[in-house]
Structure 1
Amino acid sequence: MVYTTKKPLRFGDCDPSGIAYFPSYLNILVGVLEDFFASLGFPWKAMTDERRIGVPTVRLDLTFRRPGFQGDELDFALAVHGIGRSSLDMEHTVSARGIELWTAKHRIVATSLDSHASLPWPDDIRTALTSHLETPHAHHPAT
């Protein structure tokens, strides 16, 4: 099940010409990931403060196809493609005005905020993530 959300592309996210400044996309993407975990019942503040679990990015491969512009409403689609012992592999597709703007292959890893070592996904989080796991036969937007 793909997680979808909308985010505005604001004035502060763009260069002087009104085109999206690509580092701003990454900041927005982190917010989408945070919203995804909250939608599963695992807000990051509780994960970090109470459970001492972090989810740093260890791989991020972006492909930009078209520019985004100030005022665009960005449509994010997050698909879970793999769940390892401590890793989570996702693909993001970002569109605006019905046009695909960029895609990303993204891996995060569950880590202990005390030791900074990877740790296995706790069973409750793994179960929630598994409910979003895409099957190999599921339809995916063209990349």
Structure 2
Amino acid sequence: MPVTWSSPVRFVECDQQGVVFNAHYLVWADEASNLWWASLGLPWDEIAARADPVVKASSLEWSSSARWGDVVEVDAESERVGRTSVTVRFTVRVGERVCCVVRNTYVGTAGGVSVPWPDDVRARLTAG
């Protein structure tokens, strides 16, 4: 089940035409990721201390623009869980209109190298 983070689009996030600049979609996904980890019972300070997830890859696919004055909602949900990684899908929308889908693949690390998720973390990732 997805968790949802929302925010009004701020003027500073837009270009001269009032359209959200593309990099802000990644910022919103990052904001939603904290809520997503917490929804699994893994608040960021806990998961960072145990598996130190880092973003290995991000992809963005736009279908329409968010604009100044809109309220964006970002639905976050697990899409794929691997031995050392998890891909989270962030659907950015205004009302029912999808603006962008962001996919971030997080890899658990220790000492700068990827490591398998601890068993209890993997159980939460697969259940979520």
Task: State TM-score, norm by structure 2.
Answer: 0.88
What percentage of residue pairs aligned between the two structures are identical? 28
- Note if 1:129 corresponds to 2:89: no
Shift of 1:7: 2.6
CA distance in 2, matches of 1:8, 1:93: 16
CA distance in 1, matches of 2:90, 2:24: 15
Q: Deviation digits for residues 56-106 of structure 1, max 9, x if unmatched?
A: 111212111111111211121223122111110222221103211011232
Give aligned pairs, total: 128
Q: Which amino acid aligns with 1:99?
A: R
Q: Deviation digits for residues 97-142 of structure 1, max 9, x if unmatched?
A: 3211011232111111xx111111112221221122xxxxxxxxxx
Residues 9 and 72, structure 2, Cα contact 8 Å, conserved in 1: yes
User: Match of 1:41, SS?
Assistant: coil
Residues 91 and 102, structure 2, Cα contact 8 Å, conserved in 1: yes
Residues 72 and 97, structure 1, Cα contact 8 Å, conserved in 2: no
Bigger strand fraction: 2
CA distance in 1, matches of 2:99, 2:57: 20
Task: State TM-score, norm by structure 1.
Answer: 0.79
- What is residue 35 of structure 2 aligned with on the other side? 35
Structure 1 stretches lacking a partner, 5+ long: 133-143
User: Match of 1:121, SS?
Assistant: coil
CA distance in 2, matches of 1:93, 1:6: 11
